[in-house]
Amino acid sequence: MFKQIETPKGSCMQDPNGKVELKWSPNFPQRMNEVLSKKQEIIDSEVLRLCSPMVPLRTGTLERSGTLGTVIGSGEVKYIAPYAKQQYYNTAQTRSYDANRGGMWFERMKTKHKATIKRMLEG
């Protein structure tokens, strides 16, 4: 006698000898990819939004280069201004005009908003 458990993701069957066989539902991978892609789009957008008040600001070009350089859903946020790397790695983490703006903005954003981002992944 076989024991079988059915779920929307697929099924699990155990034969009398104890051998277990897992079978994924044929449409499960596609559905899971759609869910994960949507979550990635949300996270990419949220990373840009949460980084925005921390990016150094003179003309706004550096901040906008993040929006221009990022393909939402790709999992990579890119600031493409020619001086972005210099501003990120080789400048102070605060500015006289705004203590929130400065270098290492992504790292500082992660420290400040880690719990928020984790909740997005779970939800």
Q: Give which of 100, 91, 40 is closest to 70, Cα–Cα.
A: 40
Low-confidence ranges of the chain (pLDDT < 50): none
What's the pTM value of the predicted model, to 2 decimals?
A: 0.75
**How many angstroms separate the CA atoms of 42 and 99, rounded?**
27
Contacts (Cβ under 8 Å, ≥6 apart) of 114: none
Give me the residues paired with residue 13 across strands. 4, 21
Supply the pLDDT for residue 86. Answer: 96
Supply the pLDDT for residue 40. Answer: 93
Supply the pLDDT for residue 13. Answer: 86
Q: Give which of 85, 123, 120, 119 is closest to 105, Cα–Cα.
A: 85
| Domain boundaries of the chain, sorted by first residue | 3-122
Supply the pLDDT for residue 21. Answer: 86
Supply the pLDDT for residue 1. Answer: 60
**How many angstroms separate the CA atoms of 93 and 87, rounded?**
10
